[in-house]
Structure 1
């Protein structure tokens, strides 16, 4: 391409800077949105991976960022072992440790001898079973830097008077029943020489959480003599004076630097280390342990799931952006059709014209490709801060990093944008100058989507998708089948977008008839300005449809996004609160006469301990729990799994819950609408009669028990007692009536396997059945920190074995990467849709007003004031943009009611208790209406300003020209 042609293209782009700027914005947002997907996936999963590893360390007490390989050698000569060891040691230190992709904090070589017989050197008797001891010699590289001497001194690295000096732990000193500076001699036929050993120091860990120690403690050193590493290498490996049993390499890495991109190299490095060692020690026992492997290996699969979710959630906004870019490109082509037709009539080939516009597109897409991933990183920060729809919180920043994959995604998105923007140009080059003039003189016909019945087709697909999802969900829940954890089906997110588009297009098909109805209703009374506006909109309704479908899709997507995010967040919170039952649940230790647990050696004499027929408990004081700081209400809740019952000649097992009705009702959390009446109504029903119980509907239906029946309840070692059934309930705090996962045979849908529940009075249960431990449920004040409760428990000396903290569970759930992505993408998608719609809205009206300059000038010349013109414009906005907003709200609400319940299939069906419920919040609507209202007001203000600047003589002069 010559420089002259390039300059001409640049000048043409400058002349159309506003249109091209709008087009570039759409391309840039599209590229940024697509490139943000891998950036976000890596950032959020990297943060979650480190959190999971931290949790693993907390739970196990062992450092997760480690790899340990060892080989057991027993049958080769020292020379053979030396050669193989040197090769593996060189590999581990130069390649193996660094291949994990993490900073190496420690690389610890180790040696271990076989178990050898020894005795005290000052014992004159020959070695026998009476005076022998078994010892293992161990050497650890760098041990001296991580331990502190509790007694004695560090050993010499060379023999002192022919005696090798060693270290012991405190337990080791007790194990060998010795004191420091006592000399031992090894007398074992497996050893090449009788080696003398002398403990000279007792060690302990310098730091409690030092990851140098493989098990987090000194347990692997407690029954060994610890020899300096250099001495052990010489004695066990090089010289072979003592038989070598094992050699190992322990790599400690900084797991806090682990990111998603290092997961695959980490797993590969583990396998490579095993394979490399197997080459030399294939015939011998080999061990290899990477503690974090199980935790991190699932992240490759989670990354794919999250990426699928991101794509699926972004489909509606990507479709809208494609629509926007096509519209703007079509506007550009429409404004330049005359120029294109002239070029074609003067001999320019189609491909020459397309090539010039292709250059424009390449320039725009090239710049977007360079800037898109940078903007994508900014969008990722926004995603990480989302805590709900259009709600942001201060959260620790994500480890955002622009990856090679982000640029690969950006390149694909830029190429797709180039194709979209060039299509209208290709179509425009097919039109000759004569065809162009003919089309300009004719009214625009029906839109292509109406001719192709695209609205009917998309609605049909959406309704079929709805039917499929409803059927699948019913099967999963009724049969207790197991869906994969957060199994995301992309179609469940795409189908709502199809419904929104189809419903919007169908309403636009009906819109001209609505306009005609409005016109005929008041044609005798409309003022001239309104009459002219109705004529203008009615005759040119197809011109507004690009704008209207834009607004309908934007508002409907916003309403649907708000409802989806609110519903998923609320149902997640409801599920946790319902499953826990209260703000905090404490399991209290009760004094009892149960025998103590057996030690490793079993009971004395080898006879098995016989538990008493029934354990007797002493109930602790309950008042201290009421008085804990921040506690508003406290309740005793007794739960007995598999309690036996008998009624109407049928028997079975059910969960028995014992409560004090008044305290329980004030303490527990329960969602309204789950029962025919409120939970407190049911509690009040049984409150007067302590022998009354409530039963679950599953129990009533499976065993055909009705209110008024007598039911006998008891359990092993506790005789059954009669109770009276007062009511049937579908749900109760902590009770899940769904069949457990995998409990139903698919071919046997009628199996009576659903869990059953009986709720009774705790005092009656304690008196008539048995006094057994119950949990303490606490309801906290709104502004109370749970840390205050923990401090109160500690200060009060309350014996609590387990605490369920609902608030902590909620925070942990909200930090789940899938929920973060859902909230972030729905929010980001709506904000971008509003932005794009605003630009498209403004662009359309500015071009429309410029095209109607002569008409507006004539109206001003015949006497209409600027105020009347602005009023006409406002009515026109109301009939187009306002109507589109109204239709968008209707479509969005309908879409939410139909399709938001499909989101529950992303969760474990058996855990969906209480049932999924679509939620709308007034605050969400207010946010949406504020954003849309600002968009319309700003746009109207700009248009009013343009009208006020209109000069009549300029407009009329334009008409003469």
Structure 2
């Protein structure tokens, strides 16, 4: 209790430092605990998106099981198997489903039997026999409606069992309601049944049913479940042929933490049922989740890697504050050591103090991380938030495990200055105070050079990896994403900043030498103060440099990922809207499958299909359209050269209209894009070819290439230029075994005149601010016949809600904000303590006649030479790091889809944010320090010196 009281008093004496340290600890623990929380939330959202995208023939997450009992003719054994199967589902499988069920259906199908009308067969006619079975479904009555007849009784009526049929089933029986049918059960006894009602689904989109058209009931008689079980199954009059389960979960509630249970349900069925029954299991979600887990591993690595620079910065902040606390108490530590206190005893006291702070951080950090996760869930881009349904987040044992690990790591970091301080005796401490100009330990150990060397090696490895991916056409799963590839930017920032600080004292000497004849006394005093105490300033400078550089890197990384993602969508789309109109032609209609039409002789398709071009003018007058272009696209055209032949994608364009309508990023080609289009306009037979085609066939400008397609004779064209990229063309190989795609671009009029008239696409460029919905409505009002339409804006909107981009934007936004907040806190804290420590010196200067204005001027120059220099170094380091290391994020994408190439973006808005923040920080700092100087009493400072 006495030790706790002493620790509390000790912390009270340094309450502002302790509070600053606690804030840093809470932020660190909160950030670390938010990583698994945010990762789980994003992965859960990704899982839901994957399930929605996989919706083909069934509702996402649906599980359909059918157990067929064959090879067992004993009715009692089949009933026993059915009951065991029911217990398995009720007691083991269904409890594993971790989310509520929208629907849960179980049915039973009897073995097939011959059914005939219960009437004598007229002479000369063959008795009509129908092969059918009886089906029962629990809860069916609540999901059907009758289109004819009535509901059957739940018990035999005059010895006749009433059943339901579908309309298709009634037509199959070729009868009307009320007709009595008869069949024999296993005991050769006659059973009479009578259809009394025709059923259909109450709601078309009812998830209760497996098939949308009640196809499963078309060949069966539907009987009340209790009556079928009591009258036929339990009495062994009919054998159980199969029973099925249809489970529809609320897939929106699936989360990463409970998905294992969902998978275990399918595994349990496979393991326990496969050896006993013939069964089928339809669970599309299993394959979806398997693919999801592969992509989620990369996302986990990326999430942690993105936070490495921020975590390093927070660690540096915690170290700086704990170092300040230790420096203020070095005299006390030295006195304790000189009076016989052991080093472990001093360490134990600090350990108790920091453990207390760590416990508070572990308690407050996870809720803070939960709050940050909810806020970041609404991110719509970097530093952009929208009103969106929040992501589901939870605090669990894993979160507190990470929080505890973060607190322990921070505790070790905080004890490092104490360990060094306990080595110093009272004499050594006085010597250190007299020798302020010391070489920092990172310069002695050349840590800056080592950090730079490691980071540059990582950069080299990355470039080799990306070259392999793009050359071989591999995807991002072909090579494992190394987390170190994303940690090296932090090493480069740290190493580059420390290397610049190594030469910083020489920079001060140059300033001193250049103005030595003109500097006023206050400037001399400032330069001498900074030059002789450079070691004391360098830790602050490293901290400011790293936080500013980290913020710049986070901003650049987010902007680059977002802009390049949008560029890929724009490039692949080609224009804002792409339409494919319906062209009348002489192609024979396709014969639908089934029915008597299959017996007809097929009509041979002509060698060349003749098309009629629809009017183009209506497209130019659609709502919101700025420009239009006709673009002929033939994906499998043939070409021939002197070196060989092959197939390529053929684009036919009108140069002027295409240039005004298509989207193309500047800088992708050697010359401006419009100059290549001018080449096509200059000569009708001119074509542009892709570099992949030129390299394979050894073509160059001036060569002739023959172009055509199936059924069309080839015509000669002249190569005018070779291009690496062109709208919609992806030059990367689709896989390692396929050749690289090739492209030929020519004049549409020339191609349609000398080759063939074929349907072209209509590309639309919309006016600024135009609504796509208005365009769609105008198309409907003008009754334009459209067979296909793609909308770039819709793709961009969908991309912004992509879980992967949400994770990246949220994480980098958080890193950017924390960088600015921590740099502001560290700046004010350091300079406040420095000013308090130099109270005597400032009082003496005031006593010597230095005015308050001159004293504030000295302080301003000192800040510019230290904090200002650190900020400039941080900005330079951040921009350099962005240019070199932001391309590392290509590893998180499919290399085949990186078209156009990754381009590093530095948005001026982010730079302005940093400049405004830095300027505000320095201004606020000067105001606070000026206020403290104005309240300085000279006699108190002199009295302090005497004491």
TM-score of the pair, normalised by structure 2: 0.96
Q: Any idea what SS the aligned residue of 2:906 has? A: coil
Measured after TM superposition, the shift of residue 395 of structure 1 is 2.8
State whether residues 267 and 297 of structure 1, in contact with CA within 8 Å, keep that contact through their aligned partners in structure 2: no
Is structure 2 residue 765 aligned with structure 1 residue 779?
Answer: yes
| CA offset digits 1:889-934 (Å, max 9, x no partner) | 2112222222222322322222221111222221121111112222
Question: Out of 198, 201, 225, which is 1:202 matched to?
Answer: 198
State whether residues 547 and 874 of structure 2, in contact with CA within 8 Å, keep that contact through their aligned partners in structure 1: yes
Question: 2: CA distance between counterparts of 1:167 and 1:863?
Answer: 109
Question: 2: CA distance between counterparts of 1:951 and 1:231?
Answer: 101
State whether residues 736 and 913 of structure 1, in contact with CA within 8 Å, keep that contact through their aligned partners in structure 2: yes
Provide the residue aligned with 1:747 in structure 2. Answer: none
Provide the residue aligned with 1:635 in structure 2. Answer: 629
Higher mean C-alpha displacement, 754-763 vs 795-804: 795-804
Question: Out of 253, 274, 288, which is 2:281 matched to?
Answer: 288
Question: 2: CA distance between counterparts of 1:219 and 1:805?
Answer: 36
Question: 2: CA distance between counterparts of 1:315 and 1:800?
Answer: 51
Is structure 2 residue 657 aligned with structure 1 residue 685?
Answer: no
Q: Any idea what SS the aligned residue of 1:591 has? A: coil
Gap regions ≥5 residues in structure 1: 745-752
| CA offset digits 1:816-855 (Å, max 9, x no partner) | 2222222222221121122222222111111111111111
Question: What number of residue pairs does the alignment pair up?
Answer: 945
Provide the residue aligned with 2:453 in structure 1. Answer: 460
Higher mean C-alpha displacement, 108-117 vs 26-35: 108-117
Q: Any idea what SS the aligned residue of 1:617 has? A: coil
State whether residues 721 and 769 of structure 1, in contact with CA within 8 Å, keep that contact through their aligned partners in structure 2: yes
State whether residues 643 and 698 of structure 2, in contact with CA within 8 Å, keep that contact through their aligned partners in structure 1: no
TM-score of the pair, normalised by structure 1: 0.95
Describe the shift of the 1:520–1:688 C-alpha distance in structure 2 as closer, same or farther (beyond 3 A): closer
State whether residues 165 and 199 of structure 2, in contact with CA within 8 Å, keep that contact through their aligned partners in structure 1: yes
Measured after TM superposition, the shift of residue 435 of structure 1 is 3.1
Measured after TM superposition, the shift of residue 287 of structure 1 is 1.6
Describe the shift of the 1:711–1:125 C-alpha distance in structure 2 as closer, same or farther (beyond 3 A): same
Is structure 2 residue 898 aligned with structure 1 residue 912?
Answer: yes
Provide the residue aligned with 2:934 in structure 1. Answer: 948
Question: 2: CA distance between counterparts of 1:563 and 1:259?
Answer: 31
Provide the residue aligned with 1:138 in structure 2. Answer: 135
Question: 1: CA distance between counterparts of 2:745 and 2:789?
Answer: 23
Provide the residue aligned with 2:13 in structure 1. Answer: 15
Counterparts in 2 of 1:413-424, with a 5 A limit?
413-424=406-417
Is structure 2 residue 525 aligned with structure 1 residue 532?
Answer: yes
Is structure 2 residue 495 aligned with structure 1 residue 499?
Answer: no
Measured after TM superposition, the shift of residue 263 of structure 1 is 1.1
Provide the residue aligned with 2:240 in structure 1. Answer: 244
Question: Out of 181, 184, 202, which is 2:181 matched to?
Answer: 184
Counterparts in 2 of 1:219-298, with a 5 A limit?
219-278=215-274, 282-298=275-291
Describe the shift of the 1:235–1:640 C-alpha distance in structure 2 as closer, same or farther (beyond 3 A): farther
Is structure 2 residue 563 aligned with structure 1 residue 570?
Answer: yes
Question: 1: CA distance between counterparts of 2:365 and 2:239?
Answer: 64
Describe the shift of the 1:114–1:636 C-alpha distance in structure 2 as closer, same or farther (beyond 3 A): farther
Question: 2: CA distance between counterparts of 1:96 and 1:577?
Answer: 47
Measured after TM superposition, the shift of residue 475 of structure 1 is 2.3
Measured after TM superposition, the shift of residue 424 of structure 1 is 2.0
Question: 2: CA distance between counterparts of 1:615 and 1:489?
Answer: 54
| CA offset digits 1:253-311 (Å, max 9, x no partner) | 22222112121110012212333434xxx343112222422223333344332221111
Describe the shift of the 1:726–1:407 C-alpha distance in structure 2 as closer, same or farther (beyond 3 A): same
Q: Any idea what SS the aligned residue of 2:605 has? A: coil
Measured after TM superposition, the shift of residue 608 of structure 1 is 5.9
Measured after TM superposition, the shift of residue 77 of structure 1 is 1.6
Measured after TM superposition, the shift of residue 633 of structure 1 is 1.9
Question: Out of 155, 170, 173, which is 1:173 matched to?
Answer: 170
Question: 1: CA distance between counterparts of 2:254 and 2:585?
Answer: 48
Question: 2: CA distance between counterparts of 1:215 and 1:55?
Answer: 20
Measured after TM superposition, the shift of residue 515 of structure 1 is 0.2
Provide the residue aligned with 2:866 in structure 1. Answer: 880
Provide the residue aligned with 1:895 in structure 2. Answer: 881
Question: Out of 38, 45, 48, which is 1:50 matched to?
Answer: 48
State whether residues 107 and 249 of structure 1, in contact with CA within 8 Å, keep that contact through their aligned partners in structure 2: yes
Measured after TM superposition, the shift of residue 809 of structure 1 is 1.6
State whether residues 643 and 654 of structure 1, in contact with CA within 8 Å, keep that contact through their aligned partners in structure 2: yes
Question: 1: CA distance between counterparts of 2:132 and 2:721?
Answer: 70
Is structure 2 residue 142 aligned with structure 1 residue 148?
Answer: no
State whether residues 437 and 532 of structure 2, in contact with CA within 8 Å, keep that contact through their aligned partners in structure 1: no
Provide the residue aligned with 2:922 in structure 1. Answer: 936
Question: 2: CA distance between counterparts of 1:807 and 1:488?
Answer: 31
Question: Out of 39, 44, 58, which is 1:41 matched to?
Answer: 39
Provide the residue aligned with 1:734 in structure 2. Answer: 728
Q: Any idea what SS the aligned residue of 2:729 has? A: coil
Is structure 2 residue 26 aligned with structure 1 residue 32?
Answer: no
Higher mean C-alpha displacement, 910-919 vs 568-577: 910-919
Provide the residue aligned with 1:327 in structure 2. Answer: 320
CA RMSD of aligned residues (A): 2.2
Describe the shift of the 1:487–1:242 C-alpha distance in structure 2 as closer, same or farther (beyond 3 A): same
Measured after TM superposition, the shift of residue 487 of structure 1 is 6.0
State whether residues 111 and 236 of structure 1, in contact with CA within 8 Å, keep that contact through their aligned partners in structure 2: no
